[in-house]
């Protein structure tokens, strides 16, 4: 990879200030590049390559495979499949664009636009990913279901505002806390037998949120590169670990939602 016309990489001190967000990653920074130059960085080694591919490869897989497993023809509410599909691909798409073009010669203005796009992807998986969960949990209660979907959508809009204006990774992670609490209320309804849905889905959703939280904590703690600065510049640093955990988290979301959607196609609400 390094032989394909790679530019001279920079160390942390020489990189642009807006890219100096992890002081434990010491080398491998790309210089400011044009759009085509950023695209060429797909083919040589630098410290963002792992971040690009750990979401880029799953993105390609999700684009093709997720629609094939959704029971489109049997769904009375086809929009549930559509929002789930968008939820699965949005965070990877935003992340790939952010990491690929973050060193664009447009500087901080382009960088912050890309960061906003990345945060929108995170918010979309939190928002759209939960809508089928809420719908299936309240499948037999139309009015509470509509109110809950509306309330969660409004809460998610506020979370997005907080995330895009946050000035640290800790505050960005906290931006999504209220969404998580809202989801856990619906998980409780299922656990307590007060909500509906496929019996196996709750376990998938709990693992989903557990992995997402673990990934966020690892990312803000900068482990393992904090322990040995410079040794994880290219591979196995905290952000890459978070990316892998996010992908597995989305897989659990997908398995849970698909089980719920298949359950929904044959479930008949009891008559009062």
Residue set of the binding site for Zn(2+): 99, 239, 243
CA 8 to chain centre: 31
CA distance 61 to 200: 24
User: Would the CA dihedral through 125, 237, 44, 18 be positive or negative?
Assistant: positive
Task: Classify residue 41 by its DSSP letter.
Answer: G
- The 3-state secondary structure of 204-261 reads HHHHHHHHHHHHHHHHHHCCCCCCCCCCCCCCCCHHHHHHHHHHHHHHHHHHHHHHHH
Give the residue ranges of the annotated binding site.
99, 239, 243
DSSP labels for 111-168?
HHHHHHHHHHHHHHHHHHTTHHHHHHHTTT-HHHHHHHHHHHHHHHHHHHHHHHH-SS
CA distance 238 to 143: 43
């Amino acid at each position: 990879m390094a032989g394909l016309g790679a530019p001279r990489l920079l160390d942390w001190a020489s990189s642009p200030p807006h890219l100096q967000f992890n002081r434990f990653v010491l080398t491998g920074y790309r210089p400011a590049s044009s759009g085509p130059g950023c695209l060429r960085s797909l083919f040589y080694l630098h410290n963002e390559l792992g971040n690009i591919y750990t979401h880029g490869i799953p993105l390609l897989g999700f684009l093709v495979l997720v629609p094939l497993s959704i029971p489109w023809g049997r769904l009375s509410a086809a929009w549930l499949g559509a929002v789930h599909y968008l939820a699965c691909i949005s965070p990877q798409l935003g992340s790939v664009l952010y990491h690929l073009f973050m060193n664009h010669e447009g500087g901080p203005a382009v960088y912050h636009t890309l960061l906003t796009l990345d945060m929108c992807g995170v918010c979309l998986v939190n928002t759209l990913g939960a809508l089928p969960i809420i719908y299936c949990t309240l499948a037999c209660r139309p009015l509470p279901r509509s109110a809950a979907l509306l309330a969660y959508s409004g809460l998610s809009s506020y979370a997005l505002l907080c995330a895009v204006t946050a000035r640290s990774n800790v505050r960005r992670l906290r931006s999504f806390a209220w969404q998580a609490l809202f989801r856990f209320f619906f998980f409780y309804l299922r656990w307590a037998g007060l909500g509906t849905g496929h019996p196996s889905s709750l376990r998938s959703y709990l693992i989903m949120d557990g992995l997402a939280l673990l990934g966020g904590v690892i990312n803000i703690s900068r482990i393992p590169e904090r322990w040995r600065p410079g040794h994880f510049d290219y591979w196995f640093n905290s952000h890459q670990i978070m990316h892998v955990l996010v992908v597995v988290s989305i897989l659990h979301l997908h398995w849970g939602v698909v089980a719920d959607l298949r359950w929904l196609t044959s479930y008949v609400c009891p008559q009062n």
